[in-house]
Amino acid sequence: MNDLSNITLLLIQDERRVLKKLKFPLIMDFIRTYKDEVNIYFLTEYINGMELFDVIREIGNDFKIIFFLNKTGLLTKTEAQFYIGSMILALEYLHRQNIIYRDVKPENIMIDSQVHGYKIVLCSIK
């Protein structure tokens, strides 16, 4: 194995160790890893929803995502406060675990539909 492969393997092992440690409703659940001769696979919970990036992009279009948006095509003040508050709670949990999440961006935030509403989920593996 060359140095790059060793470094890559160490990074993957570190990410796996961190994900196994996290148990919080607003952070994507890690289940386990699998590998074959070429790849390593991370199995995570299924998030039934959309990336925040896609939700934001659709706000600017005429196409309305009824699932996520009100009749005007914008988040209400209450909805925006709920999503921001959820992100803050998830980041506070990570910080209490001595983890710095350096990849906060709309593509890594899922809006998950629930039977009783929506929740925001931090994730980084696609």
Q: Rounded to an integer, what distance in angstroms lies between the CA atom of residue 60 and that of residue 63?
A: 8
Decide if 3 is catalytic: no
Q: Which DSSP string do the residues of 56-67 spell out, in sequence order? A: HHHHTSS---TT
Indicate whether 69 pLDDT > 90: no
Q: Which of 3, 29, 103, 112 is catalytic?
A: 103
Taking only the tens place, the pLDDT of each residue in 71-100 is 555 667 887 788 889 889 999 999 999 998
> How many structural domains are present in the chain?
1
Q: Which domain holds residue 28?
A: 3-122
Amino acid at 97: Q
State the CATH number of the domain containing residue 59: 1.10.510.10
- How long a stretch of residues is the chain? 126
Confidence (pLDDT) at 61: 57
At which residue do the structure tokens 């925006």 appear? 80
Has residue 125 got a pLDDT over 80? no
